[in-house]
Chain A
Amino acid sequence: MPTNRPSSARFALRQWNWVVPAFVAPAALILIVLMALPMANAVVLTFQFWNGMTPPSWIGLSNYQTLFSEPLFWSALRNTAYYTIATVVLKTSLPLILASLLSSGVRFSVFFRTMYFMPVVISLAISGLLWKMIYEPNFGLLNETLRFIGLGNFTQIWLGSSNTVMPSIIAVSLWQGLGFYLLIFYAAIQGVPSDLYDAAKMDNANALRRFWHVTVPMLRPVIVLVIVLNTINGVKVFDQVWAMTAGGPNHASDTLGTYLYSTAFGSVGNPQFGYATTIAMVILVLSAVLSIIQIRIGRRQEVEY
């Protein structure tokens, strides 16, 4: 007997048609308004000259030409690359090694994990200010300690010298971020089947070989994730550098982020929003390209067990 009621499948399809978009729409709208539209506007702005005081004027590729011929940009790019490579290597390898050690049954593991994580909860700006006081070359804690223990010859003008400023900032970044990545690796290591370690032991593999041939391969996806996160954070670094040195002395610690900020909001001539946005585009492209490359490399070999 024919029925006037729609089939349950058609009814379900009609329900799906309006319910899903209705629930997705608010979040999508927010993302479009607060991210997509500003990003599109930013891309347009890179082709304009705008000092914020007069209407923007179209200048084509001039901002990009100026950017790539500006020595300060290349200096900032070099510093950013230096910072990124150093922090990626240090903030990936050291937390992994420490996590592996803490997972091996060492005593007071909880205490050590807590101690390593504590700097993570301090804001980047505050940690920058704190270390600025420690690094103070005349009477700061670091140099005073070195003098006290007889290592006065090793004192440096940490943040005031172009030779030591970047390593000093990288050290602070490592101190701040190590605990976070250590916890990520520690949690991941708990998921590695113990059978694999047992099998390796039976094959007379020592701790180092077990780490290299079991832990590292099994943690490959997590390692790739950590590398990607560190890369993105490195390319867009700003807070700590600005709090500690504002890119000084004499642009020696200027990164793309601080160069962007001082160009947009500093006392350099008038604000150059178009030019500053061009710098932001470089940061975006660098972050995206490096992340894609790293993810693709990471996917090449997948370990199954």
Chain B
Amino acid sequence: MTKITRLLAGAALGLVSAFLPIAHSTAQETVLHVMGWETRHVPGNPVWDKLVAGFEAEHPGVRVESNVVPITQYLGTLAAMTAAGTLPDVFFGHVKALELGRAGLAVDYTDVMTDEFLDGFSPNLLAQLTTADGAVYALPYTGFAFGIFANDRIMTELGLTVPNTWEELIEMAPKIREAGLAPLAWGNLNTGTCRDFVMPLIAQYGGDARALDELTASWDSEPVIQALTLLDRLTKAGVFLDGVNGLDINQATQIAYQGRAAMLYGPSRNVGIFQKEAPPDWLENFSVHKMPAVIADGRHFMAAGSGLAWVVNDKSPNKELALEFLKYVFSPPVYNDIIAGFNGFPSRPSAMDAVALPQVREMIQWATEDGARNVLYGAGSSDAVDAACQAILDGSIEPAAAAAKMQADVLKARGKS
């Protein structure tokens, strides 16, 4: 045997020996792959560590592995994994949850979970994840509600109160602008925030988001046209930041933090975020309010739903284990810890006592009464609304034409699908 051959043989033996322990441990250990965009689902976060340790203690030989993918890359990652057949065992379904279910890639929870378990979720949140034929392909992890975060110091200095109606907001906009401030800060870049703004407006005018999403109602119906007309009026009255289509939520939030906006439009999770990053002036002066209504005693419908919803991969070899994981996550002591630790908005009313922040509690109550669906699962719905919104915000289309285009775009997308 030549010297080189001996060297190669030794290297090969060494490589095999190095991988043997791994192969040996893999044979004895089951890895449950969990994926989402929740940045706190990582080792080192005490809430997540406790959750994982508890589950692994109850299931010897199982290791939970979390893959956190940034929200901006999540859909792309999910699409690639779906195409490659490498979906994790349990993951956030994003807007694809129901489509994955219809394609046979997501477990229908009505087949595998008890009625008692499913009834423990907020009916409003679970309904948004339920198909027309009663299948439930995603379980709401946490909920959200959108509202107005007002800078009380600025409002007081200007002698204003937070508007109860949209007309009041339009009337106060010039005074706020004269002070060199933006009346209502939010950003529409790459986040679909306008969809979160417009869908509740449609509800305020009597529209049904679910019917629109499922095309049992038309997108060029009167409630939609009225909602878009209001959006157009708000835009032309200077209520929003200039160039709102070119700003993202973070930029809008920074503008509010800097005291350059009287009010900020955003979700309930902002309350927890403020505690960590907002400057003292904002923290000491912000208050949370309902969305304005169309009329003085009208319904203050606001976007409320669950963007974080767990899907179990129906093709996963660890399907039963994944279901056990979710039962464990939603078990009262564990779920209460999650809500308390993450300052979350519970999807199960039984965890309400775990909500520490009073503003979140208040928003949960509002959402229970006036929550409106804003997440759209039908093919083409999200993009059609986003496109119409952007066009209204930059003044390039009239409301009626925008509504007609939405209907045409959704029909076209469903024809392609």
Cβ–Cβ < 8 Å partners of A161 in chain B: 243, 246, 394
4 closest A-B pairs by beta carbon, nearest first, are: A160-B243, A160-B246, A265-B76, A249-B245
* Beta-carbon contact of A251 and B241 below 8 Å: no
**CA separation between A297 and B241, bound complex, in Å?**
49
Asked if A50 is at the interface of the complex by the 8 Å CB criterion, the answer is yes
Known A158-B246, A267-B75, A269-B379: A51·B417 in contact at CB below 8 Å: yes
* Least CB separation from A270: chain B residue: B417
Asked if A133 is at the interface of the complex by the 8 Å CB criterion, the answer is yes
Cβ–Cβ < 8 Å partners of A264 in chain B: 76, 79
Question: B residues within 8 Å of A by Cβ?
Answer: 75-76, 79-80, 82-83, 95-96, 99-100, 103, 105, 182, 189-190, 192, 241-248, 251, 255, 258, 260, 379-380, 382-383, 387, 390-391, 393-394, 396, 413-414, 416-417
Instruction: Find A66's partner among B103, B248, B416 (CB 8 Å cutoff).
Output: B416
Cβ–Cβ < 8 Å partners of B417 in chain A: 51, 269-270
Cβ–Cβ < 8 Å partners of A138 in chain B: 182, 241-243, 247, 255, 260
**CA separation between A249 and B387, bound complex, in Å?**
9
Instruction: Find B82's partner among A158, A248, A266, A271 (CB 8 Å cutoff).
Output: A271
* Beta-carbon contact of B103 and A268 below 8 Å: no
Known A52-B83, A250-B387, A270-B99: A165·B246 in contact at CB below 8 Å: yes
Cβ–Cβ < 8 Å partners of A278 in chain B: none
Asked if A273 is at the interface of the complex by the 8 Å CB criterion, the answer is yes
* Least CB separation from A251: chain B residue: B387
- Interface residue ranges of A46-60 to B (CB < 8 Å): 50-54
* Beta-carbon contact of B246 and A137 below 8 Å: yes
Instruction: Find A160's partner among B80, B95, B394 (CB 8 Å cutoff).
Output: B394
Instruction: Find B99's partner among A53, A136, A159 (CB 8 Å cutoff).
Output: A53
Interface size on A, as a range, is 35 or more
**CA separation between A33 and B245, bound complex, in Å?**
42
Asked if A259 is at the interface of the complex by the 8 Å CB criterion, the answer is no
Known A139-B260, A251-B387: A50·B246 in contact at CB below 8 Å: no
**CA separation between A135 and B100, bound complex, in Å?**
39
Asked if A181 is at the interface of the complex by the 8 Å CB criterion, the answer is no
Cβ–Cβ < 8 Å partners of B396 in chain A: 162, 250
1/0 per residue, CB under 8 A from B, across A247-284: the answer is 01111000000000100111111111101000000000
For residue A38, give the distance in angstroms from its CB to the closest CB of chain B. Answer: 13
For residue B394, give the distance in angstroms from its CB to the closest CB of chain A. Answer: 5
**CA separation between A151 and B416, bound complex, in Å?**
49
Known: A165-B246, A261-B76. 8 other contacts (CB 8 A): A53-B100, A136-B243, A137-B247, A138-B255, A139-B260, A157-B243, A248-B245, A248-B246
Asked if A176 is at the interface of the complex by the 8 Å CB criterion, the answer is no
Cβ–Cβ < 8 Å partners of A267 in chain B: 75, 95, 192, 382-383
Cβ–Cβ < 8 Å partners of A248 in chain B: 189-190, 245-246, 390
**CA separation between A136 and B250, bound complex, in Å?**
12
* Beta-carbon contact of A271 and B79 below 8 Å: yes
* Beta-carbon contact of A137 and B390 below 8 Å: no
For residue B107, give the distance in angstroms from its CB to the closest CB of chain A. Answer: 15
**CA separation between A270 and B105, bound complex, in Å?**
14
Known A248-B189, A267-B383, A269-B379: A139·B245 in contact at CB below 8 Å: no
For residue A124, give the distance in angstroms from its CB to the closest CB of chain B. Answer: 15
* Beta-carbon contact of B243 and A158 below 8 Å: yes
Cβ–Cβ < 8 Å partners of B416 in chain A: 66, 269, 272, 275
* Least CB separation from B85: chain A residue: A52
